[in-house]
Chains A and B, each alone.
Chain A
Amino acid sequence: METAEILNLLQTKFPQAVKSTSTSFGLDVVEIEKDYLLPVMEFLKGKPQYYAMLLDLTCVDYLGEEPRFEMVYHLFSLSSNRRLRVKARVSEKDLRIASLTPLWKNANWLEREVYDLFGVEFVGHPDMRRIFMYDGFEGHPLRKDYPLRLRQPRIKFRK
């Protein structure tokens, strides 16, 4: 099954979900509505598309645009050696998006990272805590409006 066929199938199956498809440097990109993330991902993971592996999951902050944040998911099909990039926009007013932990275990820490550095909340995540920064850290440092020179008080020492 070619990637174009998969994308056509995706479009017929989820007509409201798929906003656009494109190719970027030889990599197929699908932009979807964030509400349909979980069913679309479930469809892509299942046979015969079989994008079985979640390579990476990250976020981009487009300050000044609306919706402001863009979640980026990289999928890899081990059986057919193909990659796919799935994007979904998240608005600053409603920073929630479905968690992919039911489908992929590695999404757990990746989503914690995005939550820590961008503040996107993942609905259905089993353990929504910061992963890099310490408890008590305020703000999300990879946002474009986080002050570059801002220093926060250090954590208290354990007793």
Chain B
Amino acid sequence: MEGRFFTTTLNEILSWGRKFSLFQYPFVTACCGMEYMSAACAHFDLDRFGAGWTRFSPRQADMLLVVGTVTQKLAPVLRTVYDQMTEPKWVVAFGTCAVSGGIYDNYAVVQGIDQIIPVDIYIPGCPPRPETVLDALVKLQEKIKKQEQEWRWKRRKY
């Protein structure tokens, strides 16, 4: 019993720490990037929720924001970026194009990035308003808080 009690506490403190320190990697390909910039900058300010630091290397990021249309040619690049991110990682599909392909139902565009990488939260809208982005961020934080956290020595049994 003692061990289990300790584990849940560590889980909680990890999730608390992780949900308020989301380093983001914006994978910006299209016009949704404008709304992302608006949401990230001073007026709406993602930093109020602890996701203020934009990392321009996926290796340092926790949250992958796929902002905009992903074409078939770009799909392996997105997959590589996702694979380069270290655990734990979360993916946000930002805007209708990333969610489902949007109006681009054609030969060139991936019909939703969930065909390539797992997605944690979808933000609809073409483009979504910054308030929607903030709402999604809060929802993602709730999700992280409820998640079971992984850590380095967790599965090691002596």
Please give the residue numbers on chain A whose beta carbons come within 8 Å of chain B beta carbons, in ascending order: 132-134, 137, 141, 146, 148, 150-152, 154-158
CB contacts under 8 Å to A, within B85-106, are 106
> B residues within 8 A CB of A148?
106
Q: Is the interface of A mostly helix, strand, loop or mixed?
A: loop
CB nearest to B80 among chain A residues: A158
Please give me the residue from chain B that is nearest to A141 by CB atom: B107
State whether B108 touches A155 (Cβ < 8 A).
no
Query: In angstroms, how far is the closest chain A Cβ from the Cβ of B75?
Result: 6
Number of A-B contacts (CB under 8 A): 32
B79 within 8 A of A: yes
Closest to A150 in B: B107
The listed residue (B72, B76, B115) touching A157 by CB distance below 8 A is B76
Task: Give Cα A137–Cα B75 distance, bound, in whole angstroms.
Answer: 14
| Chain B interface size range | 10 to 19
Give me the interface of B with A, judged by CB distance under 8 Å.
Answer: 72-73, 75-76, 79-80, 106-108, 110, 115
Verify B76–A158 contact, CB threshold 8 A.
Answer: yes
B14 to chain A, nearest CB (A): 31
B80 — which chain A residues lie within 8 A by C-beta? Answer: 157-158
Contact indicator B76/A155 (Cβ below 8 Å): yes
Closest to A130 in B: B73
A65 to chain B, nearest CB (A): 24
User: What residues on A are CB-neighbors of B107 within 8 Å?
Assistant: 133, 141, 146, 150-152
CB neighbours of A133 from chain B (8 A): 72-73, 107-108
Neighbouring A residues of B108 by C-beta, 8 Å: 132-133, 141
